[in-house]
Amino acid sequence: MALLEVENLAIEFRTRGGTVHALENVGLSVDSGEIVGVVGESGSGKSVSAFAVMGILDPAARVTAGRIEFDGTDILTAGERKLRKMRGRDMAMVFQNARGALNPIRTIGQQIADVLRCHKFGDRGAIGDQVVAALKTVRIPDPETRAGAYPYELSGGMCQRVGIALAMACQPRLLIADEPTTGLDVTTQSTIMDLIRDLVRANRKAAILITHDLLLAEEYCDRIVVMHAGHVVETASTAALFAAPRHPYTAALIASTPRQDTRLAALRPIAGSIPDLRADLPPCRFAARCPRRIERCVNEPLPRIAADGDAGHVTACWRPL
C-alpha cells in the first residue's frame, strides 16, 4: 500500500478572467522510502498538486474530482482539524523562496519551537535543546547562537536549511520539497539536495521533489512524474525515463536540457508554450506543440498505456515513442 495515493485529481480556480482548469486527471503515488520527482515547466500544476496533498489550496481553488489518500486518510474529506494535526506532523513541506517562507520578525529558534510546541513534540522543558538538535540535523554550524538569529541575517542556503529543519522537526512520514533549490547557487544546491536525500533515506521517509530541473531530478529521484499543463503525461523509474522516454513531451524536455557537454547550437527548445488553461482545451494539452499529433489526440480522452515489460512506466499518449 502506497503511503500517498493521488488518483484522478481535478482542480479548477475561479478567477475574474474565467475558470482556470489547473489540474485534470492527475495521479501519482509515493511509497515509504522513495523519492518521487515531479517535473515540468512553470505553470504545469506541480505546486498546485502539492498544495492539494497538504490541504493548503487557495480559497479560490475547487477540487472537482479525484481522491487523495495519505496513510489511510482521505485528505479531501477529512476535516480541517484533522488535516491541521497531520500537517507538520505526518506530512510537511519545504518551499521555494526560503527566506520568504520564514517569519521575518521571529528568530529561527522561536519558529522551530512554535512547530514543536504546537504538535506537542517531546518535552516542553527541553524545547531549547530540541531546537538546537533540529538545527544540528540540517548541519547548521554553531546552532546555539544561530537559534537567536533572524531570517534577514542568514544566507539563502541557511534559510533553506532552516526550512528543512522546520519541516523535519516533528519527523513527518512525507516531505514535499517544492523547488527547494531554485535561487540558490549551484554548490549550495547540491549541498541542500544531499541533505534532503540523507534525511529522507536515513529514516525511511518518503519525499516528493518538485522541480523544473531535469538533471536534479535525474540525480536524486527514484521515480519521476512528468507534468504538462495540468496533466500527468508520463510516469516511470528514473532510469527508464532517461533511457527511453515514451511521451513526446518528455523526450523534448530531455533534449532541451543542457548538460555539461552540450553545445549551444545543439540545444533544442520546445516549440510553442503552455496553453491558456482558461480556454476550451483538447483532451491532450500538448497536441498543439506535438510533432506526432494525430486525429485521436484532439478527439478522444487520453489513454494510460504501460510499456511492455515495465508496468510502472505509464504514458498518456496515443503515439508513444
Using rule CB under 8 A, residue 129 touches another protein? no
Secondary structure (3-state) at 209: strand
Of 92 and 214, which CB lies nearer to another protein in the complex structure? Answer: 92
Using rule CB under 8 A, residue 17 touches another protein? no
Could you tell me the smallest distance in angstroms from the CB atom of residue 66 to another protein? Answer: 20
Using rule CB under 8 A, residue 84 touches another protein? yes
Stretch that binds another protein, among 95-103, 130-138, 251-259, 269-277 (CB under 8 A): 95-103
Of 107 and 235, which CB lies nearer to another protein in the complex structure? Answer: 107
Using rule CB under 8 A, residue 297 touches another protein? no
Secondary structure (3-state) at 242: helix
Of 26 and 86, which CB lies nearer to another protein in the complex structure? Answer: 86
Name the burial class of residue 42, with classes exposed (0-12), middle (13-18) and buried (19+) by CB atoms within 10 angstroms of its CB.
exposed
Using rule CB under 8 A, residue 85 touches another protein? yes
Rule CB under 8 A: choose which of 148, 152, 171, 304 binds another protein: 152
Q: What residues contact residue 5 under an 8 Å CB cut-off, 6+ apart?
A: 29, 67, 68, 69, 70
CA angle 190, 191, 192 (to 5 degrees): 90
Using the CB atoms, write b or e for 107-122: b if 16+ within 10 Å: bbbebbbbbbeebebe
Using rule CB under 8 A, residue 131 touches another protein? no
> Using N-to-C axis directions, what is the helix angle for 127-137 and 108-118, rounded to 10°?
110
Using rule CB under 8 A, residue 97 touches another protein? yes
Using rule CB under 8 A, residue 52 touches another protein? no
Of 25 and 181, which CB lies nearer to another protein in the complex structure? Answer: 181
Could you tell me the smallest distance in angstroms from the CB atom of residue 210 to another protein? Answer: 14
Could you tell me the smallest distance in angstroms from the CB atom of residue 45 to another protein? Answer: 17
Continuous H helices in 237-320: 238-243, 248-255, 295-299
Cell of 289: 506543440
Rule CB under 8 A: choose which of 109, 163, 248, 275 binds another protein: 163
Rule CB under 8 A: choose which of 14, 15, 64, 106 binds another protein: 106
Of 35 and 115, which CB lies nearer to another protein in the complex structure? Answer: 115
Query: Residues 48, 57: contact at Cβ < 8 Å?
Result: yes
Which neighbouring-strand residues pair with 94?
Answer: 177
Cα distance between residue 107 and residue 286, in whole Å? 46
Using rule CB under 8 A, residue 102 touches another protein? yes
DSSP string computed for 31-67: -TT-EEEEE--TTSSHHHHHHHHHT---TTEEEEEEE
Of 60 and 321, which CB lies nearer to another protein in the complex structure? Answer: 60
Q: Rule CB under 8 A: which residues touch another protein?
A: 54, 56, 84-89, 92-93, 95, 97, 99-106, 114-115, 118-119, 150-152, 163, 166-167
